[in-house]
Amino acid sequence: MINKILVSACLMGFKVRYNGSEKAQMVAQLVRWQQEQRLVIHCPELAAGLPIPRPPAEIVSADGKDVMQERARIIEDTGRDVTEHYQLAAWLALRTAQEAGCTAALLTDGSPTCGSQFIYDGSFSGQRKSGMGVAASLLIEHGIAVFSDTQVAELVAWIEEREN
Ligand code: SF4
């Protein structure tokens, strides 16, 4: 059985980021996985109804797990509290992954939704901190292995180990 992978839509070249840009990483491996029909391309924020463009949002002094457990908030740089939108984005990512039978996710790092190695600290000053976004956190909690866009090699090894 092949392991299917939920992949951030912006990594696949879709211009769905807050500023209308993409973060395309169409490395050979991703092209191969796409040809093998392993990839489930998804943007949680778009699925939750957030527009393009949209104001940047950050998790305030916490991480995605705290947000999903109602211990922290996500705000836009305008000050608007968008916590519920991002919680919905996380649940929709999980539902999409589960319905498609994904065992892993390859997500864009740094995002308050998709980040897995780092996020921003909530000060909108470009300050990074280690931590996860809401979707990454929820996927892991439900047994889906999460890899960041800098961990394609690790994901390759993970899949080979499971399939060989
Ligand atoms: S929510 Fe994820 S897939 Fe959508 S733009 Fe942000 S990082 Fe990319």
Ligand 1 atom 4: residue of nearest CA: 43
Instruction: State the pLDDT at residue 68.
Output: 98
**Total number of domains in the chain:** 1
Q: Whose CA is nearest to atom 5 of ligand 1?
A: 17
Extract the residue ranges of the chain whose pLDDT is less than 50. none
Whether this prediction's pTM lies above 0.85 is answered by yes
Tell which atom from ligand 1 comes closest to the C-alpha of 110.
7
Residue ranges making up the domain that contains 143: 4-163
| 97-132 tens-digit pLDDT | 999 999 999 999 999 999 999 999 999 999 999 999
Q: What angle separates helix 28-35 from helix 152-163, to the nearest 10 degrees?
A: 40
Report phi then psi at 25, rounded to 5.
-135, 55
Q: What is the pLDDT of residue 1?
A: 84
DSSP assigned state of 2? P
Pocket (CB within 6 angstroms of ligand 1): 8-10, 16-17, 43-46, 108, 111, 113-114
Q: How far apart (Å, rounded) are the C-alpha atoms in residues 27 and 29?
A: 5
Rounded to the nearest 10 degrees, the angle between the axes of helix 83-100 and helix 134-141 is: 40
